[in-house]
Amino acid sequence: MQKLKISKIDYKKRGKMEGIYNKSAEELLNLINSLIVFLDSNGTIVLINKKGCELLGYKKQELIGKNWFDACIPKEKRKEVHVVFNRLMKGELNYTEFFENLVLTKKGREKIISWHSTLLKDDKGKITGTISSGEDITERKKAEKELKESEEKYKVIFDEAAEGIIVADAEKKNFISANKKIQEMLKYSEKEILELGITGIHPKKDLPLVIEKFKEQREGKITTAENLPVLRKDGKVIYCDITSSQVMIRGKKIMLGFFRDITERKKAEKELKESEEKYRLLVENIPQKIFLKDSNLVYISCNENYAKDLKIKPKEITGKTDFDFFPKELAEKYRADDKRLMETDKMEDIEEGYIQDEKKVFVHTIKTPVKDEKGNVIGILGIFWDITERKKAEEELKERAEELEKFNQFAVGRELKMVELKKEINELLNQRGQPKRYQID
């Protein structure tokens, strides 16, 4: 969920507050995947975003100017909630930033919303309204209730978990229980696993490492022991990441071990590493042009086809900018587009002009921001290809369609004139007492 974090802000008056939220601001709010609603001190809805309208089932114009409590709070709760809100507006109650309550949709369905709200004040400190960000937690609350009501469901979750789970005595190192998934992974029954213990489900030669990792987990030094060999009943060795969690049950320290089989992942990683050169050759030889720029819009690399267009070798592009290859006007456009995409963190799929062999052609371009492991935008990646012939074909089809439309209009007009002429002939024959010559629908 995206949260709108807004500090307490003083506004001189409600009119000024409304004026601040211009069209672009509303568009930004509409991108947030949470219900955002602004209420004035009377509880009137000043602004609500797209997600809010979708969640409540209303169109925006159906809510703006309406009283929030009359429109969106269940009748049996309406008076109580409204009284609390009015007291808050008067400063009679301590403000609660986080809270939950029921809302009512247009179709009469009740939903539980988790709210994060902020009071709005004018420059004199008078409370003028609220801005609230809400998340629909109806399904989550329902799930919590169901889990609480049935202990048996905990057992189902344990047995049907996607990961293998073993419950062990942290001090004695013996196993207490094992779920179905770990039984499938090791090809043992639960009884057999409990009898084997830690030393029985790992290869003997790897036991010193396994016991050392178990000790580190028990002491809280590590949470996950990665890439540990595990011995199955059929003698085959698989590899698992084992994540531990410790709990105290009746004064006894219990360890939960979550086994994730990474055997196939290890195999895939090996194959991926072995085929790295193949992928590099693929990128270098595909007909599309590919380039990579850093956050300063300086080229880092490109593939062979793009380098050919620029009449350079791929390695020569490093450190260059668009100004080194394109007319100033076009280079400025490319750089402005790249900067905008990095600032907005959005991918763009466009068709645009491009200079190739000193001729203008049309290309289909896809650009996307490049991020580091922390999610920070550190550059721009682009791929494009020539669509000049397609554009020419589209233009020819358009011209042909226009010609056909003109011909159709001419043909229809001629047919209408023939019908009118037949009507006139039938009328003359009728006046002379003769039968009609043409049957007209």
Q: Of 113, 140, 167, at which residue does a domain stop?
A: 140
Do 47 and 142 touch, CB atoms closer than 8 A? no
User: Rounded to the nearest 10 degrees, how much is the dihedral formed by the CA atoms of 113, 116, 120, 126?
Assistant: 90
Q: How confident is the model at residue 135, as a pLDDT?
A: 92
- The answer as to whether 274 is a domain residue is no
Query: Do 66 and 136 sit in the same domain of this protein?
Result: yes
Residue 29 lies in a domain: yes
> Does one domain contain both 370 and 340?
yes
pLDDT digits (tens, 9 = 90+) for 92-118: 877 777 888 899 999 999 999 998 888
Rounded mean pLDDT of the chain?
A: 84
Are 39 and 132 in a shared domain?
Answer: yes
- Domain C-terminal end among 109, 140, 171: 140
Distance, in Å, from the CA atom of 33 to the CA atom of 81, rounded to the nearest integer, reads 25
Residue 414 pLDDT > 70:
no
- Confidence label for 6 from pLDDT (cuts 50, 70 and 90): very low
Task: Say if residue 87's pLDDT is above 90.
Answer: no
Half-sphere exposure of 290 (CA within 13 A, CB side): 12
Examine residue 439 and state whether it is found in any structural domain, yes or no. Answer: no
Q: Say whether both 205 and 105 belong to one domain.
A: no
Task: Note the pLDDT of residue 13.
Answer: 44
Mean pLDDT of 65-91: 90
Domain end call among 336, 354, 386: 386
Q: Give Dmax (Cα) for the chain.
A: 121
Residue 152 maps to a domain: no
Q: Which residue has the higher pLDDT, 199 or 16?
A: 199
Q: Are residues 333 and 250 in the same domain?
A: no
> Does 8 map to a domain?
no
Cα–Cα dist 93/427, whole Å: 90
Interval 420-430 mean pLDDT: 73
257 and 191 fall within a common domain: yes
Q: Is residue 336 part of a domain?
A: yes
Same domain for 19 and 136: yes
- Residue 105, domain extent: 14-140
Residues 102 and 179 in one domain: no
Same domain, residue pair 66 and 103: yes
Residues 296 and 323 in one domain: yes
Q: Is residue 273 part of a domain?
A: no
pLDDT of residue 408: 59
Stretch among 152-156, 382-386, 407-411, 419-423 having the lowest mean pLDDT: 407-411
- 191 pLDDT above the threshold of 90: yes
Q: Residue 3: is its pLDDT beyond 50?
A: no
In the predicted model, is pLDDT for residue 14 greater than 50?
no
User: Which of 203, 240, 221 is closest to 212 using CA atoms?
Assistant: 221
**Same domain (yes/no): 112, 63:** yes
Which candidate, 81, 23, 19, places its Cα nearest to that of 49?
23
Split into its structural domains, the chain has a count of: 3
pLDDT at 152 over 80: no
Q: How far apart are the first and last CA of the chain?
A: 64
Tell me, yes or no, whether 208 and 288 share the same domain: no
pLDDT digits (tens, 9 = 90+) for 257-284: 999 999 988 888 888 777 767 767 777 7
**154 and 144 Cβ atoms separated by less than 8 Å:** no
CATH code of 346's domain: 3.30.450.20
In-domain check, residue 403: no
Strands 45-48 and 35-40: what pairing? antiparallel
Distance CA 300, CA 358 (A): 24
